[in-house]
A = this chain, B = another copy of it.
């Protein structure tokens, strides 16, 4: 019997565990909740003495403000929603880091969702964020996303929306993007300047803007240097390591091999390079290779892989700053801005003729 009563006491205590509210503080100090609220929020219309007293009491009672209540009352939650295709891609992880470095100090929470490159999941994510009444949304769209109805819904709900990296162009909203065209142009030009003339291109899905832009930059660079564009040297697919390896075989067996390859992604470039190395070709002497994204590993491959750095962390922090700016401004006064970040060509030995 003894031990049961003891259990009972415990469960009683658990049930009763109530959070301290501003009313508790008010009661203790014999003032009203409004005063407590004002004191805690550093409202100027309050005497310094009560402010201090309230704060001290709050500490003593181990008071924790209830953000949910405050959110409801003020009609906003100081939260930014973020949707990315995948968190564990280095580029996106880096952008997230940059975003967080801005949002948290500014007093915003960051809710992160990943679409896993699925349009349906992205729509779900959007709905969740709208229901949570986030103060703004930053998105880099999934590989499947072609339409923007779900994004328009965000705007209809009067939530500032900002796109970055992968964007849908039909929307009149701010964005932070990489100058993919310029990056591809530079990389291709670099290959040409190194003396390569028969240059192939591994292209990502051209419906995704970034890959299309890189493709166009590639073509432009050829044209500007009077090198005929050859469609048979463009290979399209999802730019994975395996895709690169498979293409390596195809390219290796070509009657008339290209002397250089510009891949719109580093993983495919790597797969390609490894296959060719395994097949006995020397990089870059027999074939030069350049990638895109400056993935972490590109520095450590043998030879080092020439690629384009996208300043991911900076893209993230700029996107966050831009969004916070928009949140602070009346909708009708918002300007549509596009920040384009110029990528930097990182030249390594995979393309450098000795």
Interface positions of A (Cβ within 8 A of B): 10-11, 14, 17, 62, 64-69, 71-72, 77, 79, 86-90, 93-94, 96-97, 100-101, 104, 109-114, 125, 128, 130-133, 156-158, 270, 274, 295-297, 299-302, 313, 330-332
Among A86, A112, A114, chain B packs the most CB atoms within 10 A around the CB of A112
Which B residues are in CB contact (< 8 Å) with A302?
301-302
Contacts A64-B157, A332-B11; is A110 near B109 (CB within 8 Å)? Answer: no
A19 to chain B, nearest CB (A): 8
7 A-B Cβ contacts within 8 A?
A: A11-B332, A68-B68, A68-B72, A88-B94, A96-B112, A104-B113, A109-B132
Interchain CA distance A67-B125 in the complex, whole Å: 14
B17, A158: Cβ atoms closer than 8 Å: yes
Q: A93-B93, A297-B297 are in contact. List 12 more A-B contacts (CB 8 A).
A: A64-B157, A68-B68, A88-B96, A90-B90, A96-B112, A100-B114, A109-B128, A109-B132, A110-B111, A110-B112, A296-B296, A296-B297
Nearest CB to that of A303 among chain B residues? B302
B90, A86: Cβ atoms closer than 8 Å: no
B77, A97: Cβ atoms closer than 8 Å: no
Which B residues are in CB contact (< 8 Å) with A158?
17
B270, A300: Cβ atoms closer than 8 Å: yes
Interchain CA distance A313-B270 in the complex, whole Å: 23
Question: How many copies of this chain does the complex contain?
Answer: 2
Interchain CA distance A156-B296 in the complex, whole Å: 41
Nearest CB to that of A111 among chain B residues? B109
B77, A87: Cβ atoms closer than 8 Å: no
Nearest CB to that of A110 among chain B residues? B112
Which B residues are in CB contact (< 8 Å) with A79?
111
Contacts A88-B90, A90-B93; is A67 near B301 (CB within 8 Å)? Answer: no
Among A71, A125, A128, A130, chain B packs the most CB atoms within 10 A around the CB of A71
B72, A100: Cβ atoms closer than 8 Å: no
Contacts A88-B313, A110-B112; is A131 near B65 (CB within 8 Å)? Answer: yes
A133, B66: Cβ atoms closer than 8 Å: yes
Which B residues are in CB contact (< 8 Å) with A14?
330-332
Interchain CA distance A109-B17 in the complex, whole Å: 25
Nearest CB to that of A301 among chain B residues? B300
Which B residues are in CB contact (< 8 Å) with A295?
296
